[in-house]
Chains A and B, each alone.
Chain A
């Protein structure tokens, strides 16, 4: 069975500073990796995904994540955060199992951007 670990439950960071949210996974088969963002009282929204190809993936709002197979990591980074980035971020791993995709979410990291 696969698992996802987000070690940091909360990450405070000053506005315009860089940030890294860590995600490690374990799986015995090939995986697809995702980062979702959740704003208060809303569902999860896809931030970025790794399905195949280039190991560095980027979102439209300046976030990027790099798939590192040897370290089984998919850390999320942004060089300069904004107040509007304050939200909870979830890493997820998907594997194909018995003809359907099985999704496992991490426990989430709350990013708090300080003015």
Chain B
């Protein structure tokens, strides 16, 4: 069936380095993608989104890249900080499903001091 998944369950990053979190999706009809950050004991928090008619979108210290050819998106975090330690989820929506999000399993990012 259709699914959204992340390549690696964990990522350890040195403070100050850049982080790259990857996500693969299989639903070619997906037209909207969101990255969420979930800190321990909290609900998911919106980070950045991208539509399928875009290849790249930048926010504050974050960039999302979308490669529709290989059905892959990534989240890049510049100058990773201790506060970036969290679980990161990609989620996708296809326009025909009443805006129901499909989530991947998540990548746990740990920032080393």
Q: Do A and B come from the same complex?
A: no
A→B interface (CB under 8 Å):
none
